[in-house]
Amino acid sequence: MSKDEIHSFDAASDDALLVLFANGSQAAAQELTRRLMPRVFAQAFHKLRNRADAEDVTQESFMKLWRIAKDWKQDQAKVSTWLYRVVENACIDRLRRKHVSSGLDDLGHEPSDPSPSVGEKMQDQSRVNALYAAIDLLPERQAIAVRMRHLDEKSNIEIAEILNLSVDAVESLISRAKRSLTAQLQGHKNALGYHDDTL
């Protein structure tokens, strides 16, 4: 990719880059991947909690994006929004296939991705695992909303667009979800390394 291309792509929207890709620009694909891949991978990882699965879903989702590029209409949903839905569905399909089940009783299990869990980080990791397990116990829309807001760092406006809800409804969903998460995690405070006198 030349310097000029990089500068011109910096200002280009995701939509415009996808159209450029459909017209044969590999450099546009490179820029789109650079922009979107970290978020897509993080979303898949938060949902699947497994690096290999998250990588597979990321690659599959981008493949779908490349294939739809020639039929992409710029007035439809934003590329990032479209991709978010694709990743979400791909994760759900994968989880169904694998029959993954987890619960708060599994707090002591090893994290599925071993890289961050050494030494003193074990306790933090078990809290994170507990958080994931607690999110799994939420009603589906609350789980999706809280994940999008606090793990995938989407704005409430983006979440509203993805879930076809009003921003107020999204705020309400997230608020209820956080109350439920707090209640669930406080019920396991000892397993999570909190002492009674600190609560």
Mask: binding to other proteins, 60-99, rule CB under 8 A, as x and -?
--xx--xx-xx-----------------------------
Q: Tell me if 58 contacts other proteins by CB under 8 A.
A: yes
C-beta separation of 196 from 187 below 8 A:
no
> Which CB atom, from 166 or from 193, has the smaller least distance to other proteins?
193
Give the one residue of 16, 100, 104, 128 binding other proteins; rule: CB under 8 A: 128
Closest of 57, 108, 104 to residue 85, by C-alpha: 57
From 5, 8, 12, 22, residue interacting with other proteins (rule: CB under 8 A): 22
Give Dmax (Cα) for the chain. Answer: 63
CB nearer to other proteins: pick between 140 and 197: 197
**Up-side HSE of residue 148: CA atoms within 13 Å toward CB?**
26
The vertex-182 CA angle with 177 and 137, nearest 5°, equals: 55
Residue 138's SS3 state is: coil
Cβ–Cβ under 8 Å, residues 191 and 108: yes
Tokens describing residue 29: 């694909």
CB distance 91 to 44 below 8 Å: yes
Q: Which stretch binds other proteins (CB under 8 A): 7-15, 53-61, 84-92, 164-172?
A: 53-61
Site stretch for other proteins (CB under 8 A), options 7-15, 92-100, 149-157, 166-174: 149-157
> Under the rule (CB under 8 A), what is the footprint of other proteins?
21-22, 24, 26, 29-30, 33-34, 37-38, 41-42, 45-46, 51, 55, 58-59, 62-63, 66-67, 69-70, 113, 115-116, 120-121, 123-125, 127-128, 130-132, 150-151, 153, 178, 181-182, 185-186, 189, 192-195, 198-199
